[in-house]
Amino acid sequence: MALLDNLLTLHRVDSQVRALRTRVESAQTFFTAQEKLLATLERQKTELETQHRQLQASVHAAEVEQAAATERVTKLRNELNTSTNDKQYKAILNEMKVLEGSKDEIVKRAVDEMQRAEDTKKRLEVHAATIAERIKIRDVAKTKLEECKGDVGERLAQLEAERSRAADLIPDRERKLFDKVADLTEGESMSEVTIVDLRHREFACGECNIEVPFETYAKLASNSDVAIQCKSCTRILFLAEANHPGAATEKDKAEAKVAKAAKAAAKAGLQPPPVMDQAARDRADKAKFEKTRKL
């Protein structure tokens, strides 16, 4: 087989291999992202739990402090009743005043901390619900990844073997070129030359639409053993079977016959002659071009 045929075979298998790999890779990427997200959520949960414990501890400490102050006030009140002189009385009264003040502060602090602890608890509940949801998504992602690996695994191994067989048929230099272009174009390594206007010798790269010189078309038309790249998108150019000069003559003949019959019918007043479509015009042009090329 000619080089370009072998390259096309390699391209077909290579793009199948790439598509399968991409499927597994995207399933893997999605699963990894879910795992990362869950790890972050778990870390946040641990932080919230620590915060909650600290708040509960400080509420408890405030309660203990408040009880101690109350006890001290009760004791002072008794002492006040049994005080023997004015100086002592005033001192006890003063201490009681200070204690009452700090008790108010402690109560206020305890209420604040309790509120914060309550808020943290609510956040923890919302967080736990989020984690439960994300675990479901992560588990689905995991199942899908395993399914994908299972589905793809065997087929991928077959295709990879097929790919390496196809690659073995291609000389080193062209194979390296193919691999390079395939990597650059994500597997879209080959491009068909399209005939824009054969009469005016206008051709284009089927992938990027940039003009392909007539010399390239002529070279590809006469030799299937050359790897010529598109000067714009670097893809390896080829001519479709139907665009090979002299390739589709059987079809052309058949179509010409149909056209002739239609013309005869039209002459006989049966129906209007069919309009020649662009493809038919291209083929006719190509046949003419072939004649002049051979001259």
Q: What are phi and psi of 236, to 5 degrees?
A: -85, 125
Q: Does 107 bind Zn ion (CB under 5 A)?
A: no
Residue 59 or 195: the one with the smaller Cβ distance to Zn ion is: 195
Q: Which of 290, 115, 63 is nearest to 199 (CA)?
A: 290
Q: Does 208 bind Zn ion (CB under 5 A)?
A: yes
Residue 220 or 230: the one with the smaller Cβ distance to Zn ion is: 230
Q: Does 221 bind Zn ion (CB under 5 A)?
A: no
Residue 279's Cβ-side half-sphere holds a number of Cα atoms within 13 Å equal to 7
- Tell me which stretch binds Zn ion (CB under 5 A): 110-118, 176-184, 223-231, 274-282: 223-231
H helix runs in the chain, sequence order: 3-81, 86-168, 172-184, 214-222, 249-267, 278-294
Residue 148 or 230: the one with the smaller Cβ distance to Zn ion is: 230
| ∠ Cα 216 221 222 (to 5°) | 105
Residue 91 or 233: the one with the smaller Cβ distance to Zn ion is: 233
Q: Does 212 bind Zn ion (CB under 5 A)?
A: no
Residue 107 or 233: the one with the smaller Cβ distance to Zn ion is: 233
Q: Does 230 bind Zn ion (CB under 5 A)?
A: yes
Q: Does 181 bind Zn ion (CB under 5 A)?
A: no
Angle between helices 172-184 and 3-81 (to 10 degrees): 40
- 57: Cβ contacts below 8 Å, ≥ 6 apart: none
- Tell me which stretch binds Zn ion (CB under 5 A): 38-46, 88-96, 173-181, 204-212: 204-212
Spatial separation of the C-alpha atoms in residues 256 and 260, rounded to whole Å: 6
- Tell me which stretch binds Zn ion (CB under 5 A): 4-12, 95-103, 134-142, 205-213: 205-213
Q: Does 114 bind Zn ion (CB under 5 A)?
A: no
- 85: Cβ contacts below 8 Å, ≥ 6 apart: none
Q: Does 205 bind Zn ion (CB under 5 A)?
A: yes
Spatial separation of the C-alpha atoms in residues 236 and 10, rounded to whole Å: 12
Spatial separation of the C-alpha atoms in residues 286 and 201, rounded to whole Å: 10
Provide, rounded to whole angstroms, the least separation between the CB of residue 225 and Zn ion: 21
Number of amino acids touching Zn ion (CB under 5 A): 6
Provide, rounded to whole angstroms, the least separation between the CB of residue 206 and Zn ion: 8
User: For residue 65, what are its two tokens?
Assistant: 């402090």
Q: Which of 28, 58, 224, 232 binds Zn ion (CB under 5 A)?
A: 232
Q: Does 194 bind Zn ion (CB under 5 A)?
A: no
The 10 Å Cβ neighbour count of residue 120 is 20
- Tell me which stretch binds Zn ion (CB under 5 A): 22-30, 155-163, 225-233, 244-252: 225-233
Residue 20 or 205: the one with the smaller Cβ distance to Zn ion is: 205
Q: Positive or negative, the Cα torsion across 171, 173, 176, 180?
A: negative
Residue 69 or 236: the one with the smaller Cβ distance to Zn ion is: 236
Q: Which residues here bind Zn ion, judged by CB under 5 A?
A: 205, 207-208, 230, 232-233
